[in-house]
Structure 1
Amino acid sequence: MLAEHFELIEAIGLNLFFAFIFVFIGLSINDVMKKNDVPKMGRFVVYFVLFLGCAGFIAKGIIQYVWESQGVG
């Protein structure tokens, strides 16, 4: 059974790894900004850019899923 679902397990593991990395980067950036007293506008910009990076991976996953379900990819 494991050999049959290896690709699915690999995809889920990779997505969880990316989620962990984004959370870890967010916590690291938060710690650095708190220690250096960054203004609220600067924090907003940094979190917005981090969110855009995360949203890009989510959009890629959605587009990939739609294309594969339609037989394009």
Structure 2
Amino acid sequence: MLLDGATSLDKFCEQHDICRATAYREIASGRLTANKIGRKTIITKAAAKAWLESLPKFGTDRGNVAA
């Protein structure tokens, strides 16, 4: 662990089963907040939680709500 409550981008991707390209797209879109320590990109625990909570709920995409 880099900082208390922070993880590297690679570990974040591994933990959430996404590729680095997806993570960088999420960062570019503003849905995921990342910080830099030198050349290393880190994700705080708070940023990871906020990102997860911002994802669409299963069955609610395109306005279709699962019954």
The two structures have a TM-score, normalised by structure 1, of: 0.28
Higher relative CO (CA 8 A, sep ≥ 6), structure 1 or 2? 2
When Rg is computed on C-alpha atoms for both structures, the one with the higher figure is: 1
The two structures have a TM-score, normalised by structure 2, of: 0.29
